[in-house]
Structure 1
Amino acid sequence: MEAKNWHPSDDDYPAQGIDISHHQGAIDWSLLPDQGVDFAYIKATEGGDFVDPRFAENWEAAGEAGIARGAYHFFTLCKPGAEQAANFIATVPRDERALPPVVDLEYMGNCSERPKLDDVRAELGDYLRLVEAHYGKPAVLYLTEEFDEEYAISENFDRPLWLRSLVLEPEFGARDWTFWQVSNFRQLEGMQGRVDWNVMQETALTIQPTPVPEATSSSP
């Protein structure tokens, strides 16, 4: 099998899918289900004011194609968590059928600031509290190993984990993964260039969040 077509065994991982943003360009969503796309996470927002220019289009088209859909927010270290939550809430519709909201926590593409550990946790706590209250669902934490090592996010926030570990199953995180980002080189008909490929455990639909203690904080 060519690398661009590789994915984990469907027998071992029956729920597989993609995460996308405007970088994939216009997508023909009708072609994706027959290529094994069971679910899609769609970038909605970043920081306090950026909205992905293709979010609304992708959100609607994924639903029309019968693909389970969820939205994600890229969390910047340069903005207060409450401000970022407001951006996400203003952009993503409430839909009981949608997958849980995701917050993307990584260094790649982030601002150059590296706030103190306690400040990052406080701002993330503010973000989670507001988003989960609005959508009534657990938030999933997307983590790279470097980010988790620096801020011990998985140890301090009892949420489902989405862990990035290309090809090999993740060996980090405070508990088992719920989503695993398997590769960043899959290519699909109906889409430009490469796309991230992921697998999902059934528990993604059932795990409930542990409330974050009430707290407020200043901007990092």
Structure 2
Amino acid sequence: MSSSRTSSTPIGTSRRRRGVAAVLGTLTALLSALALVLTLPGAASAAEPPPPAPAPPEPEKPGDAWMGAGVRMHEGDDTPGTPPADGGKGVAATVHGVDVSSHQGNVNWKGLWDSGVRFAYVKATEGTGYKNPYFTQQYNGSYNIGMIRGAYHFALPNSSSGAAQAKYFASNGGGWSKDGKTLPGVLDIEYNPYGSTCYGLSAGAMVNWIKDFTSTYKAQTGRDAVIYTSTSWWKQCTGNSGAFGSTNPLWVARYASGPGELPAGWGFYTFWQYTSSGPIVGDHNYFNGSMDRLKVLANGG
């Protein structure tokens, strides 16, 4: 009598094992292919935020300076991430903006608009001998894309009077019109990027120079100029004067996650420059309020 051996593994179980093995093999192949793709240059770059635009080189001659040049040189550039949505002061809303100078050349305003930027300040003049050669493209381009825009003047208090520089600024791009899209001009008064921190002026002389500029600018345009500065410079070079807080809006420079202590005389800031290395171009800023409030400022309120 002959006998035959039968398999101890049921046929169904064997088929299931072969099926699992096939699935595992397919998954392994897919994972290997994915790993290869991720190692290719540029892979997954679309999901990464753009790197910060490089800041301009340190100024060497009049005309080279930009808003924050002296601050970056003396206080450092921490280039923080995006500040709190409330601007660090508990306001209801904030509006994102940039400031630019000749270092940015012809600006891609559509790219900035698409990134959420809604206002811009453009360098117009410095001292009484420099005009931004890109001013027209930058000033008109930001306006044409839909932004509210304004102009700023980089002060050189050791080169001429405040009155002379205010007149030069107002006549070369720093004027104002009540069109709902033009912001008051800015006096950029900060660390001297070319030499002595306080431009060789005593605290009293510096305060008088600023008064000379702001009173002349108002006479020329009907608006109180915004004052851009950093708290540390203001303390050192004006003796922490409180003379301007009731008349001139404050634009404070501080590269951190909050605006920090403000100069004397101001209970709140109007603009805050929070980084000098934006993701596209220029320095990046917040307006301390809603878009409606920014429009009020543009209209003279």
| 1:47-75 deviations in Å (ceiling 9; x for gaps) | 12211111122111111111110111111
Of stretches 101-110 and 17-26 in structure 1, the one that deviates more from structure 2 is 101-110
* 2:191 matches 1:107: yes
Distance in structure 1 (CA, Å) of the matches to 2:249 and 2:201: 24
SS state of the match for residue 155, structure 1? coil
| Aligned match of 2:152 | 72
CA displacement, residues 173-201 of structure 1 (integer Å, 9 cap, x when unaligned): 2221111111112122xx5xxx2110002
Rg larger for: 2
**Deviation for aligned residue 1:10:** 4.5
- Across the aligned residues of Structure 1 and Structure 2, the Cα RMSD in angstroms comes to 2.5
Q: How does 1:1-220 map to 2 (within 5 A)?
A: 2=49, 4=52, 6-10=81-85, 13-78=93-158, 79-92=160-173, 93-96=175-178, 97=180, 98-112=182-196, 113-150=199-236, 151-152=238-239, 155-158=242-245, 159-170=248-259, 171-174=261-264, 175-188=267-280, 191=281, 195-202=282-289, 205-206=296-297
CA separation of 1:177/1:11 partners in 2, compared to 1, >3 Å: closer, same or farther?
closer
**Structure 1 pair 111/51, CA: closer, same or farther in 2 (3 Å)?**
farther
Report if aligned partners of 2:272, 2:287 keep a CA contact under 8 Å in 1: yes
Q: After TM superposition, give the deviation of residue 117 of structure 1 in Å.
A: 1.7
Does the 8 Å CA contact 2:126/2:153 hold for their aligned counterparts? yes
Q: Within 1, Cα distance between the matches of 2:243 and 2:110? A: 40
On the 8 A contact 1:70/1:100 being kept in 2, the answer is yes
Aligned residue pairs: how many? Answer: 204
Q: Which residue does 2:5 correspond to in 1?
A: none
TM-score normalised over the length of structure 1: 0.82
TM-score (norm 2): 0.62
Aligned equivalents of 2:251, 2:240: Cα separation in 1 = 12
Distance (Å, rounded) in 2 between the aligned partners of 1:71 and 1:100: 8
8 Å contact kept, 2:176–2:184 = no
CA shift for structure 1 position 106: 0.6
Instruction: Name the one with the larger strand percent.
Output: 1
Residues 153 and 62 (structure 1 numbering): CA distance in 2 closer, same or farther, change over 3 Å? farther
* Structure 1 residue 154: Cα displacement: 5.3
Q: Which runs of 4+ in 1 moved over 6 A?
A: none
% same residue: 31
Is the Cα contact below 8 Å between 1:166 and 1:183 reproduced in 2?
Answer: yes
Q: Evaluate the alpha carbon distance shift between residue 119 and residue 135 of structure 1 in structure 2; reply closer, same or farther with a 3 A threshold.
A: same
Shift of residue 132, structure 1, vs aligned partner? 1.4
The more displaced of 177-186 and 106-115 is 106-115
Name structure 2 gaps, 5 residues minimum: 1-47, 54-80, 88-92
Q: SS of the residue aligned with 1:162?
A: strand
Please, which runs of 5 or more residues in structure 1 have no aligned partner? Answer: 210-220
Partner letter of residue 274 of structure 2? V
Letter in 1 for 2:273: Q
Q: Which amino acid aligns with 2:190?
A: E
Q: Distance in 2 between matches of 1:163 and 1:154?
A: 15
Contact 1:77–1:111, Cα closer than 8 Å, also in 2: no
Letter in 2 for 1:81: G
Matched residues in 2 for 1:83 and 1:55: separation? 20
